[in-house]
Amino acid sequence: MATVLITGCSSGFGKLAALHFARKGDTVYASMRNTEKGAELEQARDEEKLKIELLQLDVTDEASVKKAVAHVIDAAGQIDVLVNNAGIGAHGPIEETEDDEAKEIFETNFFGALRVIRAALPHMREKKTGVIVNVSSLAGRVGPPFDGIYSASKFALEAVSEALNYEVHPFGIRVALIEPGGFETNIGSTRRIPRGYGEGSPYLALDQRFEEALTKLPGRDEESDPQTVAEAIYNAVHDEEPKLRYLVGKDAEMIGGLRKQLDDEQFEQTIRQALDFWD
């Protein structure tokens, strides 16, 4: 059974992944910024006799990352699986996003994952084993309008994951990217909006039209259960024919599939047509 460290376990995919790995028998270090948000995990641990330990870890705080990783190594001797799940959403036009606002997104979604990877890798290399799962997004494959900064942070995570997979392979370590489409979690309600974006913006009507058009996409109206993503993370770790990228959800499979098949112009035409978004 594996020792698993997951970031961002206070809600959403992270919480569900912590439960899923633990229910399969793994020892899970469920980390979060504020461990007071871990009550549900603690309750499940006690009721189901799961091996879950809550751990304070803020991915934007180097000291907290180092302390958490050192604790897992002290307690378990190794990290077999690292899931970089912590992330924040962002929505708004690129022109109206200031540098500090863009940097906040990168600080969590990109540098946050890098920090935890750097802290865990020496131990994985020493043991000559390990799987690093980075939770990216369909937006790490395509750049949707009004999600440009979020998408950029996930593209950056994808680039680093691809390169890292080559670099660590000789040490018995592999990297996997999980690319979910849209799932109902807290990310929609906590996503960052540029402070200057609102009434009077030349982009507002276009943004609203695009959001409405998105609901027309096939796959969007189907039930999307975040548990699917938790299971996809687990399955990526145990895949007998491991891949670098895993699209998760009907919308991600459809749009990500088109992105793979079509060239840039064909893809743009297809998406504009599907969304009736020609402006």
CA distances from 33 to 56, 104, 135 (A): 6, 16, 17
Q: Find the part of the chain contacting ligand NAP (CB under 6 A) among 3-11, 21-29, 162-170, 233-241.
A: 3-11
Is 187 an interacting residue with respect to ligand NAP (CB under 6 A)?
Answer: yes
Q: Give CA–CA dist 137/85, Å, rounded.
A: 11
- Residues 28-87 close enough to bind ligand NAP by CB under 6 A: 32-34, 37, 57-60, 85-87
Q: Is 26 exposed, middle or buried (0-12, 13-18, 19+ CB in 10 A)?
A: buried
SS3 264: helix
* Closest CA relative to residue 31, chosen from 234, 61, 165: 61
Q: Which of 41, 88, 236, 255 binds ligand NAP (CB under 6 A)?
A: 88
User: What distance in Å separates the CA atoms of residue 275 and residue 214, rounded to the nearest whole number?
Assistant: 7
The reply to whether 158 sits near ligand NAP by the rule CB under 6 A is no
Q: Catalytic annotation on 10?
A: yes
Query: Is 108 one of the binding residues for ligand NAP (CB under 6 A)?
Result: yes
Residue nearer to ligand NAP on the CB measure, 9 or 124: 9
Beta bridge partners of 175: 132
* 247 is a site residue for ligand NAP (CB under 6 A): no
Task: Tell me which residue of 61, 56, 74 sits closest to 9, measured CA to CA.
Answer: 56
SS3 176: strand
Tell me whether residue 121 or residue 178 sits nearer to ligand NAP (CB atom). Answer: 178
Helix (H) or strand (E) holding 65: helix 62-76
Active site residue 136: yes
Tokens of 198: 């609102």
Q: Report the alpha-carbon distance of residue 259 to residue 251 in Å, rounded.
A: 12
Nearer to ligand NAP, 144 or 242 (CB): 144
Closest to ligand NAP by CB, 36 vs 199, is 36
Annotated catalytic residue 64: no
Question: Residue 202 Cβ, how far from ligand NAP at the closest point, in Å?
Answer: 27
Of the residues 137, 151, 154, 224, only one is catalytic, namely 154
- Could you give the strand order of the β-sheet that contains 173-180, starting from the edge strand earlier in sequence? 52-56, 27-32, 3-6, 81-84, 130-135, 173-180, 245-248
Number of residues binding to ligand NAP, judged by CB under 6 A: 30
**Residue of 29, 31, 136, 234 with catalytic role:** 136
Piece in contact with ligand NAP (CB under 6 A), picked from 21-29, 120-128, 167-175, 177-185: 177-185
130 vs 182 by CB, closer to ligand NAP: 182
Does the annotation mark 24 as catalytic? Answer: no
Q: How far is the CB of 128 from ligand NAP (least distance, A)?
A: 28
**Active-site hit among 150, 197, 234, 246:** 150
Q: Which residues contact 85 (CB under 8 A, 6 or more apart)?
A: 6, 7, 8, 9, 13, 14, 17, 135, 233
Query: 113 vs 124, which CB is nearer to ligand NAP?
Result: 113
Site of interaction with ligand NAP (CB under 6 A): 7-8, 10-14, 32-34, 37, 57-60, 85-88, 108, 112, 135, 137, 180, 182-183, 185-187, 190
